[in-house]
Amino acid sequence: MLILGIETSCDETSAALVADGTILSNVIASQIDLHARFGGVVPEVASRKHVEAIGYVTREAIDSAGKTLPEIEAIAVTSRHGLIGSLIVGVSAAKSLAYALKVPLVGIHHIEGHIFANILSHPEMPLPHVCLTVSGGHTMLVYVKDVCQYEVMGNTLDDAAGEAFDKVAKFLGLSFPGGPVIEKLSVQGNKSAFALPRPLGRSRSFDFSFSGLKTAVVNMFKDKDRETLPLPDIAASFQEAVVDVLVSKTLQAARHKGVPAVSVTGGVSINRRLRESFSDACHREGLRVFFPQLDLCTDNAAMVAAAGAARLKYGDVSGLDLNAVPSAPLESAK
Ligand code: KG4
Ligand code: ZN
């Protein structure tokens, strides 16, 4: 089945064509440069930019796949969890196309998209497994029992891990998004230079909390001269604290469920220290670990199309009354 995916939940306008697990195109127009000057995503600016981009991004996804509009057999769109103004643009485009082409439409939860980024990258990934989605907007642990069958085990209670990277970077006077800059600085830094907390690290719950860690960094350095801050050591110590918590909670969840594998996905899963630490820890525990190919870690429409294809197999079709919903639980297919 040839399926068109559309993703506009935050600051990436993306459209992709996926056929039976093969990505034919995955066009992403990123707005990062536009938001960088504000030090974070400005929702109103994001939605206006999606309106400008959605037409040509969709056209390019179809053209570069060597396909035509009438060949599209279904449309999947991120309809829940994200910035409302941004979501509305993608949902409206998807509904119009589904109506015009008379093809089924399916609304996808953004986290389910991220889960499918890994399934798309590694079709051999075992089920059940435990999936950590770690991005700018989410830090969520999900027990993936089967295809589209989920049990949410834990969530962030405050800031998401990527958000903490972005806020700490902003405090240190670094550019947005903070994750890649902090990772780059960390390479020359000492990860044990500063003793930072591991929030909820010892707790038995599977929830996360990163706002206290961010505040710990701020309190440690707010009275110091910004010009002389040991940035690589701060970056490395902060990154290590985030990575430690993510790895230990995910492995705790995997042990609890007795799964043979874990999957890590979302923008922060690009981070090399995170990948290395997960790989070492999983190796020690005899678990397999999977990360998406790099271009599927951050927001993209191929993962949405893949999730849509799986949902359609369950007969999960949305009506033309599909709405954009900014906050919604991750639900299993029926
Ligand atoms: O998945 P994504 O594109 O958007 C959301 O759904 O939020 O993730 C963006 C987040 C940002 O917070 C960014 O700082 C973080 O992913 N990120 C990284 C790295 N690359 C991107 N965090 C740590 N290390 C990286 N290399
Ligand atoms: Zn995302």
Ligand positioned closest to the Cα atom of 135: 1
How many whole angstroms from 23 Cα to the centroid of ligand 2? 18
CA distance 148 to 310: 7
State if residue 299 touches ligand 1 by the CB under 6 angstroms criterion. Answer: yes
Rounded distance, CA 30 to CA 41, Å?
Answer: 11
Ligand 1 neighbour 85 (Cβ under 6 A): no
Q: Which ligand is nearest to the CA of 295?
A: 1
CA of 82 to the centre of ligand 2 (A): 8
Element (H, E) at 2: strand 2-7
Instruction: Tell me, using a 6 A CB cutoff, whether residue 180 lines ligand 1.
Output: yes
Q: How far is CA 211 from CA 150, 165, 260, 331, in A?
A: 27, 10, 31, 27
Which ligand sits closest to the CA of 137?
1
* DSSP structure string for 92-125: HHHHHHHHHHT--EEEEEHHHHHHHHHHHH-TT-
Where would I find the H helices in 194-230? 211-221
What's the pLDDT score for residue 232? 98
Atom of ligand 1 nearest to the CA of 239: 23
Distance from the alpha carbon of residue 172 to the mean position of ligand 2, in angstroms: 24
- pLDDT value of position 209: 95
Query: Which of 184, 298, 327 best tests ligand 1's pocket when mutated (most atoms within 8 Å of CB)?
Result: 298
pLDDT at position 233, please? Answer: 98
Quote the pLDDT of residue 5. 98
- Omega cis (within 30) before 197: no
Q: What is the pLDDT along the chain (334 residues), one digit of tens a residue?
A: 999 999 999 989 999 999 999 999 999 999 988 898 888 889 999 999 999 999 999 999 999 999 999 999 999 999 999 999 999 999 999 999 999 999 999 999 999 999 999 999 999 999 999 999 999 999 999 999 999 999 999 999 999 999 999 999 999 999 999 999 999 999 999 999 999 999 887 788 999 999 999 999 999 999 998 889 999 999 999 999 999 999 999 999 999 999 999 999 999 999 999 999 999 999 999 999 999 999 999 999 999 999 999 999 999 999 999 999 999 999 999 9
Report pLDDT for 199. Answer: 86
244 membership: H or E segment, kind and range: helix 231-257
Q: Work out which ligand 1 atom sits closest to the CA atom of 272.
A: 26
DSSP string, 267-279: GGGG-HHHHHHHH
**Global confidence as pTM:** 0.95
Give the bridge partners for 78, in sequence order. Answer: 108
Pocket test residue of 139, 182, 268, 274 for ligand 1, highest count of atoms within 8 A of CB: 268
Measure the CA–CA gap between 73 and 98, rounded to whole angstroms. 9
Any atom of ligand 1 within 6 Å of the Cβ of 210? no
pLDDT of residue 17: 98
pLDDT at residue 259, as a whole number: 98
Pocket flag, ligand 1, residue 268 (CB < 6 Å): yes
Q: Is the peptide bond before 260 cis (omega within 30 degrees of 0)?
A: no
- Check pocket membership of 135 for ligand 1, CB cut-off 6 A: yes
Q: What's the CA gap between 188 and 166, in Å, rounded?
A: 19
- pLDDT in the model for residue 192: 97
- From 7, 35, 78, 135, the mutation candidate for ligand 1 (largest count of ligand atoms within 8 A of CB) is 135
Q: Residue 87: in which H helix or E strand, if any?
A: helix 84-101
Cα–Cα dist 260/61, whole Å: 36
Cα of 208 vs centre of ligand 2, distance in Å, is: 17
Q: Is the CB of 157 under 6 A from ligand 1?
A: no
CA–CA separation, 72 and 306 (whole Å): 14
Give the DSSP H or E segment for 4.
strand 2-7
**C-alpha 45 to ligand 2 mean position (Å):** 18
